[in-house]
Structure 1
Amino acid sequence: MKRHRLDMHDPSMARDADMIPRAVVAVGATSTSESWEHAQHAHRKGQLMYTLRGVIHCEIEAGIWIVPPQCALWIPSGTFHAARGAGEAEVYCLLIDPDVAGALPPQCCTLAVSGLLHELISKAVSFPPLYEVDGAQGRLIGTLLDELAQAPIEDLHLPMPLDPRLRRLADSLLANPSDKATLGQWAVRIGMSERSMTRLLLEEFGLSFGRWRRQLHVILSLQRLAKGESVQRVALDLGYENASGFITMFRKAVGQPPARYLADRAGASSATAAPAAIALHSGS
């Protein structure tokens, strides 16, 4: 089956597809071994990035999103975002006109991709850019949009604060995620009382400091584990004394240990089976 392939190192990839006069334009994108990064930009059409292989990292003002295999990131029309990846990756991109995207979420989110939705996206990628709107291809696009609107939302998102003091905290932990400073120590560092910092974190994130830091570790570990790094190496770099402590944290957050989670994703990718929806559990 012929697929329209574009180079993920080329930042004009989605912009060119954005100009094609169709409600949905589907393209495949590949990266071999070099790192790539697209500076902050926006599209007239909404963009769906569906990862088949590798991991994509996307940033918007409100947070950081991780897109592991068999997940899709929905970026609504006009949303400024930056994206980057490293190593081998394979991604399908859908550019969706705002006029037909009304049933999709109004904010960025990660979506689980079912077996049927996978097949519909894979088929759409083989269509010519100017497919027949009133023919079989146009009808398949309509079904794809219906299935996409019903895709369950997953929680693979790290919220980022708007308050400049909390942003310093977040940026510091992103740069040094192994920092084990307590809530009180961080409050002193950023010039706040512990009580005010706790209140502001809940107002901006809806999360405690402990849950936000745990989610940070899940996001960062997924990026590295998906590239083949060992659980032991990732655990130590994130500040855990051993792999067992890291695995316990990951299981509490995601519901599965990291090896099982990645194996299930790899199995779903090769068999195009529907992945189980993932919700980060709400413990403290």
Structure 2
Amino acid sequence: MNTPLISPQFASSDSEPMIISTASHSSQRVTQRHGHSRGQLLGTLQGLISIEAESSQWIVPATHAVWIPPNVQHSLLGTHGQFEGWSIYIQKNACAKLPIKPCILELSDLLREAINRTMSWHNSELQPEQKRLIAVILDEIRTSPQVELALPMPKDMRLLKIALALSDNPSDDRNINEWGVWAGISRRSLTRRFTNETGFNFTEWRQKLRMLKALELLAAGKPITEISLYLGYDNISGFIAIFRRNFGVTPGNYQRAMRNRLSWRNFTYTSIQNDNHINDKLIK
């Protein structure tokens, strides 16, 4: 679904309300590349979201949230699995002390509950305790740890061609020489440029892509054996070991936790780091 959660006028309004809070329940959401003068924090209660901003792609689980500063171009590439999402849009002048670059934030229980509380506000005149809660939200966004769950995309068109091909078919196991011939770039240039432009060597980048794709497929309820084969692993035990090394939990436990809505903060992200119905609440 491409319908914005709020109107472009609200998303770019500098007038009251200070925060616009929205919730979304949809089997699939996609939005085209766009920007607005309000800052946006978005995340999920259930399912995953894929976000693109400033030449990077993020696949974000419900343990984390995405911060988009004012006037940064971005798009929602898609949602994955049974989806319940939320967003808050913050006046530009209230974003002065918030992160100036798009980033992924570790979502504290306090921030999650504070945002959830705002969804029930209907009154136009906020009470003192509600104003204090908005201040808490802003402080939590400012101080929340930033984590590296992003998938950086290379800028060189030849490397981007490879990256997009792997995104479409992560099981493609061509080696670096074969990819170089296919894209028309020497092995030496491919190796050097891939590291310089993404921060990962080619092998590391491909493994990170596969792990982020695994999160999508687990959210969609796909069987673990099917996911392992789709991602190009010869045996399921190898896939389970790599997934656990990256996320600190087995794929089966991760999928069960998603299904049962367990506390996401039990999951430790380790080596991955190197609407059909819309309910809008206006908060002044």
Counterpart of 1:215 (choices 208, 219, 228) is 208
Amino acid at match of 2:269: I
What does residue 74 of structure 2 align with?
81
Q: TM-score, normalising length from structure 1?
A: 0.86
> What are the residue-to-residue correspondences of 1:1-284 with 2, within 5 Å?
10-11=3-4, 13=6, 15=8, 17-18=10-11, 19=13, 21-31=16-26, 33=27, 35-83=28-76, 84-86=78-80, 88-128=82-122, 130-132=124-126, 135-263=128-256, 269-270=261-262, 274-276=265-267, 278-281=269-272
Give 1:65 shift: 1.0
Paired residues of 1:11 and 1:38 also in contact (CA < 8 A)? yes
Give 1:277 shift: 5.2
Deviations 1:119-149 (A, max 9, x none): 11111122238452x7221111001111222
User: Which sits farther off after the overlay, 51-60 or 101-110?
Assistant: 101-110
Give 1:55 shift: 1.4
Paired residues of 2:148 and 2:273 also in contact (CA < 8 A)? no
Change (3 A) 1:154 1:131: farther
Percent identical among aligned pairs is 34
What does residue 277 of structure 2 align with?
none
Give 1:22 shift: 2.7
User: Which sits farther off after the overlay, 102-111 or 10-19?
Assistant: 10-19
What is the distance in 2 between the residues matched to 1:86 and 1:251? 21
What is the distance in 1 between the residues matched to 2:7 and 2:106? 22
What is the Cα-based RMSD across aligned positions, in Å? 2.4
What is the distance in 2 between the residues matched to 1:85 and 1:282? 22
What is the distance in 2 between the residues matched to 1:147 and 1:276? 20
Give unpaired runs (5+ residues) of structure 1: 1-7
Paired residues of 1:52 and 1:69 also in contact (CA < 8 A)? yes
Give unpaired runs (5+ residues) of structure 2: 275-284
Give 1:60 shift: 2.5
Paired residues of 2:211 and 2:243 also in contact (CA < 8 A)? yes
Matched pairs, number: 271
Paired residues of 2:170 and 2:210 also in contact (CA < 8 A)? yes
Equivalent position SS for 2:213: helix
- More relative contact order, 1 or 2 (CA 8 Å, 6+ apart): 2
What does residue 280 of structure 2 align with?
none
